Homo-oligomer: A and B are copies of this chain.
Amino acid sequence: MTMTLTSDTDAAGPPIPRDVAQQIREAILGGEFAPHQRLIEADLSDRFDAPRAAVRAALLTLSSEGLVERLPNRGARVRAISVDEAVEIVEVRVGLESLCARKAAENVDDEDIVSLRALREDIASAIGGGDLVAYSRLNQDLDRRLRDLSGHATASQLLERLRAQSARHQFRLAFHPGRAAQSAPEHIAIIDAVIARDPDAAEAATRTHLAGIVAVLRSLD
């Protein structure tokens, strides 16, 4: 794991010493650190070429974000999100995302609508082509787009945090047989409602969509 580009002593170094927390976050989300894997300060310090105190601070931050858990005197490890928790997270997302969708529908300007139409096409063609990876990525784009359009900083921030926590489950869900075929029209419906500047429809479509996710998650385990 300590692959390292081998001692960045030679010139390389971290060009922009990105925040350690962000690097660890990416490693967790990217699957490099598995659930329950221990995160040893010295190792991380070595790997990211950051002082141990910085690693420590990062772990503290990630801990209160819910991405890692800290066992007293025994260090930190990647937090594993159970299916029950994943369901809870989606239940919370219902409230937050429907709020964002509503606000987004109230806020869109003509320019936004153009780009939403493009996104709609991309989704349709990803589904048509059976490209689940692309579709999964587009879903993420859509979610973020709605968050941005909503202009709701508080909800956005919480959603971003929740998304990180349940990233693993979302990924898994994306490849559930028949899942894409069901969720794609729901996503389209959300986009259409926002394009139509219909807050009620946008909220309703979002609720429907997430209810579907809850159902599938429950059936999974």
Determine whether the beta carbon of A91 is less than 8 Å from that of B99: yes
**In the complex, chain B residues whose CB is within 8 Å of the CB of A99:** 91-92, 94-95
Smallest CB separation, A66 vs chain B (Å): 8
A85 within 8 A of B: yes
Range class of the A interface residue count:
20 to 34
Q: Which of B89, B91, B153 meets A88, CB within 8 Å?
A: B153
Closest residue of B by beta carbon distance from A152: B88
**In the complex, chain B residues whose CB is within 8 Å of the CB of A61:** 60, 64
**In the complex, chain B residues whose CB is within 8 Å of the CB of A158:** 92, 158
Determine whether the beta carbon of A154 is less than 8 Å from that of B85: yes
Interface string of A152-173 (1 = CB under 8 A from B): 1111001000100000000000
**Which 5 residue pairs spanning A and B have beta carbons closest together?**
A95-B95, A88-B154, A64-B64, A60-B60, A61-B64
Closest residue of B by beta carbon distance from A73: B1
A96 within 8 A of B: yes
A42 within 8 A of B: no
